[in-house]
């Protein structure tokens, strides 16, 4: 089930997965699993460094093939809240390869685009091995490429869960 709601300054996506909350948490918080689904269709994640604890940092590299060749984008941030299997909150900013935050213009974003946004993911154990996940990305407009990227990423996450269920 997919329910995608967006306000002007936040993208909210709710999904229900046929997987226990422990698995969905693991797919979000363990770099090797996160790399398997994050990013829009066609994107790969060559690196995901995540110190999943309050105050811990994250640096994720996403690569996308373009007509001009591969393009890499990096996202950095800090974990603000970590409540195992219940809630994950982190900041997100576009960054250079060293994790330094880029200004909107350096990142190729329009003037007024926020330099730092916040992602909140809430996990609910529905019983019977099912998990409800609600992701809110504050600071991302509803009609932005980022909103579409999240929807595609969660399609990849759902496919990964289904593949694991088939094993």
Task: Provide the pLDDT for residue 8.
Answer: 58
- Residue 58 CB contacts under 8 Å (≥ 6 apart), including other chains: 48, 49, 50, 51, 52, 75, 76, 77, 78, 79, 90
Contact 102, 117 (CB under 8 A): no
Average pLDDT over residues 110-118: 83
Assign 103 a pLDDT band (cuts: 50, 70, 90): confident
Assign 6 a pLDDT band (cuts: 50, 70, 90): very low
Task: Provide the pLDDT for residue 2.
Answer: 39
Task: Provide the pLDDT for residue 166.
Answer: 82
Contact 58, 50 (CB under 8 A): yes
Task: Provide the pLDDT for residue 38.
Answer: 97
Percent of the chain whose predicted confidence (pLDDT) is above 70: 95
Whether residue 1 has pLDDT greater than 50: no
Tell me how long the chain is: 167
Number of independent structural domains in the chain: 1
Q: What are the helix and strand counts (H, E) for the chain?
A: 3, 8
Task: Provide the pLDDT for residue 144.
Answer: 81
Whether residue 145 has pLDDT greater than 60: yes
Assign 106 a pLDDT band (cuts: 50, 70, 90): confident
Task: Provide the pLDDT for residue 164.
Answer: 85
Task: Provide the pLDDT for residue 109.
Answer: 75
Copy the structure tokens of residue 60.
Answer: 């994720």
Print the domain residue range for 156: 2-166
Pairing of strands 69-83, 44-50: unpaired
- Residue 77 CB contacts under 8 Å (≥ 6 apart), including other chains: 57, 58, 90, 91, 92, 93, 116, 119
CATH number (domain holding residue 33): 3.30.530.20
Average pLDDT over residues 21-26: 97
- Residue 68 CB contacts under 8 Å (≥ 6 apart), including other chains: none
- The pLDDT tens digits for 41-84 are 999 999 999 999 999 999 999 999 989 999 999 999 999 999 99
Average pLDDT over residues 91-115: 86
State whether the Cα torsion 28-31-36-42 is positive or negative: positive
Q: Report the interhelical angle of 145-166 vs 21-29 (nearest 10°).
A: 130
């Amino acid at each position: 089930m997919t329910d995608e709601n967006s306000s002007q300054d936040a993208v909210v996506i709710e999904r229900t997965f046929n997987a226990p909350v422990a698995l969905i948490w693991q797919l979000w918080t363990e770099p090797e699993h996160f790399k398997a689904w994050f990013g829009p269709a066609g994107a790969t994640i060559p690196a995901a460094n995540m110190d999943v604890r309050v105050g811990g940092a994250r640096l994720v590299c996403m690569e996308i093939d373009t007509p001009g060749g591969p393009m890499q984008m990096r996202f950095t941030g800090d974990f603000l809240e970590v409540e195992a299997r219940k809630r994950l909150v982190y900041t997100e900013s576009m960054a250079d390869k060293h994790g330094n935050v880029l200004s909107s213009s350096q990142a190729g974003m329009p003037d007024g685009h926020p330099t730092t946004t916040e992602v909140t993911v809430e996990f609910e154990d529905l019983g019977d091995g099912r998990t409800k996940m609600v992701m809110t990305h504050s600071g991302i407009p509803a009609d932005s490429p980022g909103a579409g990227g999240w929807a595609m990423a969660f399609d990849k996450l759902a496919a990964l869960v289904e593949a694991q269920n088939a094993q």
